[in-house]
Copies of this chain bind each other. A is one copy, B any other.
């Protein structure tokens, strides 16, 4: 039993599984607060991979990350009474930014627990939107302990970075748009950390386009989701080390529900493959995106037998990177 509310379960302790109607409602609710992000194509990458790739650019989303969707949905679905007490969360960075962004739009207080090792760019972004940072050590254990103290003191509503039906329904709006923007997709691939974006994608596509296969992409250095899917139960690692800093967290019960039911396969890439794909995307697609966002392309390049000849939606999840610490400058 944790010392704070678990948004994934109801009072009886049962999982709250969001529905496709929750996704439609989320989309109406958050439209004033998010961008309908563009889908970019690149002949270069089509030739390189043999697939037809459609990049849904959530790096161009508000707050620089898809999490503005789930964060806005959670913040704006709160009652007035709950909202005025404020919200709190823990995050490796991007969810913190998104919650701070959404809380700022609603004019309420957001407190976020972040690892002290989180990129400076992400800390700056949180503070820029008015969020209050409480630092912890870079492990799941330390993060959860610190967070319990924060919530006990403030009474804030906990918005989980991914194991939260409001957040998953919000992330599901991305696949809703993608499916409107691109016809006849064969597959969609997204990076997987805690599984929020992948779960939202599963929720939406399994309802509106069940023939589209869903893949997830994960750093080999933090491949707990891939091992979980093979094992048939959640495997969680404490503090894995990867440049894809958004993908270090483990699956939880609600995201496991969607991942285990709807994901065809979880593919992995090495650190070097991720950095190479990242640099190549900056160079050829002219977009700023963070290492996590490069993992899907790295796995597509690595697994042509899966994707060649297919129309594939690729979710570019975020663009919050320190422009003074680009990984290819240290290779």
In the complex, chain B residues whose CB is within 8 Å of the CB of A324: 328-329
Shortest A13–chain B CB gap in Å is 41
- Contact between B328 and A323, CB atoms less than 8 A apart: yes
- Contact between B286 and A286, CB atoms less than 8 A apart: no
For residues 284 through 315 of chain A, which have their beta carbon under 8 Å from a beta carbon of chain B?
A: 284-289
Question: How many copies, total?
Answer: 2
| Contact surface of A with B, Cβ cutoff 8 Å | 35, 38, 40-41, 43, 59-60, 62, 64, 121, 279, 282-289, 319, 323-324, 326, 328-329
Shortest A32–chain B CB gap in Å is 12
- Contact between A282 and B288, CB atoms less than 8 A apart: yes
A62's nearest neighbour on chain B, judged by CB, is B43
16 A-B contact pairs sorted by A residue (CB < 8 Å): A35-B41, A38-B40, A43-B62, A60-B286, A60-B287, A64-B286, A121-B283, A279-B323, A282-B288, A286-B287, A286-B288, A286-B289, A286-B319, A287-B288, A323-B326, A329-B329
In the complex, chain B residues whose CB is within 8 Å of the CB of A285: 60, 288
In the complex, chain B residues whose CB is within 8 Å of the CB of A284: 64
In the complex, chain B residues whose CB is within 8 Å of the CB of A283: 121, 288, 323
In the complex, chain B residues whose CB is within 8 Å of the CB of A287: 60, 286-288
Candidates B40, B282, B326; contact of A60 at CB < 8 Å: B40
In the complex, chain B residues whose CB is within 8 Å of the CB of A38: 38, 40
Given contacts A286-B289, A288-B288, 19 further A-B pairs with CB under 8 A are: A35-B41, A38-B38, A38-B40, A43-B62, A59-B286, A60-B285, A60-B286, A64-B284, A121-B283, A279-B323, A283-B323, A285-B288, A286-B287, A286-B288, A287-B288, A323-B326, A324-B328, A324-B329, A329-B329
In the complex, chain B residues whose CB is within 8 Å of the CB of A286: 59-60, 64, 287-289, 319
**Complex Cα distance A329/B40, Å?**
28
Shortest A174–chain B CB gap in Å is 16
**Complex Cα distance A279/B324, Å?**
10
**Complex Cα distance A54/B43, Å?**
26
A58's nearest neighbour on chain B, judged by CB, is B286
**Complex Cα distance A288/B287, Å?**
5
In the complex, chain B residues whose CB is within 8 Å of the CB of A282: 288, 323
List 3 A-B pairs, minimum CB-CB distance, nearest first.
Answer: A286-B319, A38-B38, A286-B288
In the complex, chain B residues whose CB is within 8 Å of the CB of A329: 324, 329
A65's nearest neighbour on chain B, judged by CB, is B286
